[in-house]
């Protein structure tokens, strides 16, 4: 395997471990917003869609890249906005406690 | 500036974006910082997407007008649709929207892998590792695309929520798995030069694999009941992350790999937490069938007994003269969209000096934490929402526990061994001095067993739809 692939694999494994650590500390209360927030993050595939759009040089690739960009953008924009809407509701009450829940 | 330098800056910006995702998720630990965390994550995403543009423009070959049009128009359409749906959706319909966004994310990852394969097939660029990542990205992406669409359709009611058994389901699933594995082996062997497969045949094999992945998503989710959809959506969310990471390997792009792996891991943990809270294994859910009404209903061995039913007026008197009430909202409340009714009743009781709290089971609603969101939307003060461990000791001191549309999470049978719900953490509703259950019928929860709580002598059943029942209660309490 090439050095690039090996370092990519290392990054992959470390990112998985980071994901386990970050997530395991979130209280159940925030699991739905969290799922939605994580859902927005995999919208990063939009960057991948842009990369293939730049490489495209035939009608089939144009079509695939176009659909990929539409899908990716929908995932990113919709995901973040709906997560923000959910989280906004947790903060409307001035009496909301600042202490961390469920730790 | 030379392209190498630009790539360095772009790479660093991608890295900064990835760091923002990690820090943003970390801030979602606590309600106080969660919103800031999500915005940090969104900022990282904006940065990562924006810096991709100068990178594409300065690469050898540059960015063609067609490519610019694809990116700009595609973003406007996709982003506009996403924005509109996210803004206009009812909060009760939010789980299916998340599932829909998950579906398109998976679809995008699959398309990226497929398109890259079409570009490099038959060239020197196609190496063994790329072939592996292409097949994995395409298959996982396709499974989450079709699977999430089905899950979304089930929650929306477009597709029946009850488990749909496919004739010969296991054989179909096995056949699809064989197609995927055989296709993977063939494409890898082709890329390695072990066997000679021309470009046309390779594409045909990939098409078969993609089709099998799409069908697999359908056959995987159809047999699963609506109550289990949260776990399925979470699992598919994790899959999409993994698919994005695979697409990252195909394109040798670090930010896709990091973000995808992060979501893959987070979705996995979240799925396990949800399944644990329901005392079910993920495999068990995916295998389906549990509580599917195939006549294998377990005898809970609990005390038999008659059910006492109560009218709205009697229930209102009990509530109005209680000094403390704990509301236990569940799936039925979410389905009936009765969260505003609950808040109104609670405020009415509070105005009479009754202490009102809400006991939130970790899996109440349609997703973990969904109930908190629904009640927060109905302006229920956040401090009144108590998590299970916090509220359970308080049931012994409470006069009335008002159970609205919650079933299995209140079943005392969970404390004994040998029942389908054994070991599931439950709310200790039976410890309350008296219990009122608002429920449409004596129907069973998804565990498919009777709830012993309902035959408890302290329990009174108020048979009504959650929303209509609450409206009756509110009127009755006002009249007290």
pLDDT of B297 higher than 60: no
Nearest Cα of chain A lies from the Cα of B262 at a distance, in angstroms, of: 4
What is the spatial distance between Cα B462 and Cα B274, in angstroms, rounded to a whole number?
30
- Which positions ≥6 away from B124 have C-beta within 8 Å? none
What is the spatial distance between Cα B448 and Cα B251, in angstroms, rounded to a whole number?
47
Using DSSP bridges, classify how beta strands B400-404 and B324-329 pair: parallel, antiparallel or unpaired: parallel
* pLDDT given for residue B102 in this prediction: 96
Nearest Cα of chain B lies from the Cα of A46 at a distance, in angstroms, of: 7
Burial class (CB in 10 A: 0-12, 13-18, 19+), B438: buried
Place of tokens 């009640």: B375
Nearest to A52 among B105, B115, B257 (CB): B115
Instruction: Share the mean pLDDT of chain B.
Output: 87
Average pLDDT (B321-339) is: 87
Nearest to B41 among A27, A31, A41 (CB): A41
CB B423 within 8 A of CB B278: no
Place of tokens 């009122």: B436
Average pLDDT (B88-112) is: 92
- DSSP annotation of B401 reads E
Nearest CA in chain B to A82: B86
What is the spatial distance between Cα B155 and Cα B149, in angstroms, rounded to a whole number?
10
B323-339 in b/e form (b: 16+ CB < 10 A) is ebbbbbbbbbbbbbbbb
Q: Do the chains contact at B245 and A12, CB–CB below 8 Å?
A: yes
Reduced to 3 states, what is the DSSP secondary structure of residue B5? helix
B360: left (phi over 0), alpha (psi -120 to 50) or beta: beta
Nearest Cα of chain A lies from the Cα of B284 at a distance, in angstroms, of: 21
CB A25 within 8 A of CB B270: no
Per-residue pLDDT of B28-43, as tens digits, reads 877 788 899 999 999 9
Quote the pTM value. 0.81
- Which positions ≥6 away from A6 have C-beta within 8 Å? none
- Catalytic residue (choose from B116, B228, B408, B428): B408
Average pLDDT (B198-208) is: 92
Q: What is the dihedral of CA B144, B147, B149, B151, to 10 degrees?
A: -120
Q: Do the chains contact at A35 and B233, CB–CB below 8 Å?
A: yes
**Please, which residues bridge with residue B385 across strands?**
B358
Q: Do the chains contact at B31 and A29, CB–CB below 8 Å?
A: yes
Q: Which pLDDT band, with edges at 50, 70 and 90, does B437 fall under?
A: very high
**Please, which residues bridge with residue B267 across strands?**
none
Nearest Cα of chain B lies from the Cα of A3 at a distance, in angstroms, of: 12
| Residue B90 token pair | 């009812």
Q: Do the chains contact at B94 and A90, CB–CB below 8 Å?
A: no
* pLDDT given for residue A28 in this prediction: 67
pLDDT of B165 higher than 60: yes
- Helix H segments across B378-433? 388-391
Nearest to A30 among B34, B73, B249 (CB): B34
- Residue B408 a catalytic site member: yes
The yes/no answer to whether this complex scores an ipTM above 0.90 is: no
Name the most confidently modeled range: B58-67, B98-107, B338-347, B392-401: B98-107
Backbone φ and ψ for A45, nearest 5 degrees, come out as: -60, -15
Q: Which pLDDT band, with edges at 50, 70 and 90, does B81 fall under?
A: very high
Per-residue pLDDT of B370-409, as tens digits, reads 788 888 888 888 888 888 888 999 999 999 999 998 888 8
Go through chain A and tell me how many residues it has. 103
Average pLDDT (B188-201) is: 87
Q: Do the chains contact at A61 and B381, CB–CB below 8 Å?
A: no
């Amino acid at each position: 395997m090439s050095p690039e692939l090996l370092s990519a694999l290392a990054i992959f494994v470390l990112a998985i471990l980071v994901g386990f650590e970050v997530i395991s500390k979130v209280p159940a209360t925030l699991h739905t917003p969290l799922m939605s927030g994580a859902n927005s993050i995999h919208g990063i595939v939009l960057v991948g869609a842009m990369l293939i759009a730049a490489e495209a040089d035939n009608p089939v690739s144009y079509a695939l890249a176009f659909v990929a960009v539409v899908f990716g953008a929908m995932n990113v924009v919709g995901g973040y906005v709906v997560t923000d809407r959910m989280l906004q509701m947790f903060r409307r009450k001035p009496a909301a406690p600042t202490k961390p829940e469920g730790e | 500036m030379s392209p190498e330098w630009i790539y360095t800056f772009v790479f660093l910006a991608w890295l900064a974006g990835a760091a923002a995702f990690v820090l943003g998720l970390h801030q979602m630990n606590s309600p106080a910082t969660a919103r800031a965390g999500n915005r940090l994550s969104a900022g990282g995403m904006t940065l990562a997407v924006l810096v991709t543009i100068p990178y594409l423009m300065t690469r050898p070959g540059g960015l063609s007008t067609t490519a610019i049009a694809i990116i700009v128009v595609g973003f406007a359409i996709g982003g506009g649709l996403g924005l509109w749906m996210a803004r206009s959706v009812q909060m009760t319909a939010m789980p299916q929207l998340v599932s829909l966004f998950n579906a398109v994310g998976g679809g995008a990852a699959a398309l990226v892998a497929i398109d890259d394969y079409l570009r490099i097939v038959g060239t020197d660029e196609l190496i063994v590792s790329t072939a592996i990542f292409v097949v994995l990205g395409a298959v996982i992406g396709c499974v989450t695309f079709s699977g999430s669409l089905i899950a979304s359709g089930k929650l929306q009611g477009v597709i029946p929520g009850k488990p749909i058994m496919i004739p010969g389901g296991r054989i179909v699933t096995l056949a699809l798995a064989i197609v995927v594995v055989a296709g993977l082996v063939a494409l890898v062997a082709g890329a390695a030069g072990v066997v000679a497969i021309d470009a046309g045949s390779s594409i045909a094999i990939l098409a078969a694999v993609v089709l099998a992945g799409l069908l697999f998503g359908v056959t995987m989710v159809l047999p699963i009941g609506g109550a289990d959809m949260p776990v399925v959506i979470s699992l598919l969310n994790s899959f999409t992350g993994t698919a994005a990471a695979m697409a990252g390997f195909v394109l040798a792009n670090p930010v896709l790999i990091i973000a995808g792996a992060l979501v893959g891991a987070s979705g996995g943990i979240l799925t396990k937490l949800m399944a644990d809270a329901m005392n079910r294994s993920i495999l068990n859910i995916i295998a389906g069938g549990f509580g599917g009404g195939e006549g294998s209903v377990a005898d809970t061995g609990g005390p038999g007994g008659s059910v006492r039913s109560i009218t709205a007026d009697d229930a209102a008197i009990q509530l109005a003269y209680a000094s403390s009430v704990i509301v236990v909202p569940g799936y039925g409340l979410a389905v009936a969209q009765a969260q505003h009714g609950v808040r109104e009743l609670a405020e009415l009781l509070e105005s009479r000096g009754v202490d009102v709290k809400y006991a939130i089971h970790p899996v109440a609603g349609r997703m973990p934490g969904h109930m908190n969101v629904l009640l927060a939307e109905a302006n229920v003060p956040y401090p009144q929402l108590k998590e299970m461990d916090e509220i359970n000791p308080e049931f012994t001191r409470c006069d009335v526990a008002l159970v609205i549309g919650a079933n299995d999470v209140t079943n005392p049978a969970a404390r004994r061994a040998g029942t389908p719900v054994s070991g599931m953490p439950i709310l200790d509703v039976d410890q309350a001095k008296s219990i009122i259950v608002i429920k449409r019928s004596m129907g069973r929860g998804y565990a498919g067993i009777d709830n012993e709580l309902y035959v408890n002598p302290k329990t009174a059943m108020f048979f009504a739809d959650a929303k209509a029942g609450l409206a009756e209660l509110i009127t009755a309490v006002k009249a007290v």
